[in-house]
């Protein structure tokens, strides 16, 4: 299985990202993220049920399943690619990430575990305030 990892530009926390995605999901095109480049390994991502892992405020925090990868045109006519996403953000074990441009491939073995699946050592983490979780993750304590 192969995944993608991408910086979420704009939202300061997961809650803001959820609100923004909820608005976009109601639009005529549904929930999608448009990116300039097409993943060359798209068949691997789709065949294995790959996800898009989001880095929010410097910490890898959530993922979304990628349902399809489609060519699209931007408003200026330039070619682009739409990552069609399953609604809903799945919390993952937080991991600090340095900034990067575009997206990166993420092998399944390197992907963080879902918190919903009971990650070891993070029991009750979802009960902590988001800012505290972020601070602990940035210190490498989560």
pLDDT in tens, the chain (142 residues): 999 999 999 899 999 999 999 988 888 888 999 999 999 999 999 998 999 999 999 999 999 999 999 999 998 999 999 999 999 999 999 889 999 988 999 999 999 999 865 444 456 666 788 788 777 766 666 5
- Tell me how far apart the alpha carbons of residues 19 and 2 are, in angstroms, rounded to a whole number: 27
Residue of 3, 119, 109 whose CA lies nearest to 63: 3
Q: ∠ CA(129), CA(134), CA(135), 5° rounding?
A: 100
pTM, 2 dp: 0.80
Residue 119 pLDDT: 46
């Amino acid at each position: 299985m192969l995944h993608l990892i991408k910086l979420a530009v704009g939202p300061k926390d997961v809650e803001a990202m959820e609100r923004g995605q909820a608005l976009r999901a109601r639009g005529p095109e549904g929930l999608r993220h448009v990116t300039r480049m097409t993943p060359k390994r798209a068949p691997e991502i789709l065949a294995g049920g790959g996800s898009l892992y989001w880095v929010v405020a410097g910490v890898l925090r959530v993922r979304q399943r990628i349902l399809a990868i489609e060519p699209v045109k931007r408003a200026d006519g330039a070619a682009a690619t739409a990552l069609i996403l399953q609604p809903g953000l799945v919390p993952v074990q937080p991991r600090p990430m340095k900034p990067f441009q575009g997206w990166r491939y993420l092998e399944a073995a390197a992907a963080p575990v879902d918190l919903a699946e009971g990650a070891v050592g993070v029991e009750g983490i979802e009960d902590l305030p988001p800012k505290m979780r972020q601070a602990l993750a940035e210190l490498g304590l989560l």
